[in-house]
Amino acid sequence: MGAEPAPRREVVTGAPGTARPTRTGIAHTRKSGHDDAAVRQLMRRQLRIGLGACSLLALPLGLLPVVFRLLPPGDTSQGAAWLLLGLAPYPVLLATGAWYIRRAERNEGDVTGR
């Protein structure tokens, strides 16, 4: 039975403490010295637009079953139902997402001054 080889040694070449701080959102706000009231206000505004985005999505997508119920029974309505399910939600999702991102970035810019 042979001797086991010595464990491989790892060499760290970077200087300690050179990690970059994050500069996004609330983390940047706290590091830049903004007070807690501004952070709370930002969080309330972000919550408000998040709830608004959810309601913008829930209303049209939640009404899809009502639309399906109103469609006349038959073979032609099956195609319309699949077309509604396959195509209708995506423009609503994309528009709501774009609106939410613009508003969230504007809110953060108001607090951080960017």
64-112 pLDDT, tens per residue?
888 777 877 776 667 777 777 888 788 888 999 999 999 999 988 888 7
The pTM of this model reads 0.57
Q: What is the 3-state secondary structure (H, E, C) of the chain?
A: CCCCCCCCCCCCCCCCCCCCCCCCHHHHHHHCCCCHHHHHHHHHHHHHHHHHHHHHHHHHHHCHHHHHHHCCCCHHHHHHHHHHHHHCHHHHHHHHHHHHHHHHHHHHHHHHCC
36-74 pLDDT, tens per residue?
888 899 999 999 999 999 998 888 888 888 877 787 777
**pLDDT, mean over the chain:** 79
Domain ranges of the chain: 25-112
Q: Which residue has the tokens 């983390």?
A: 27
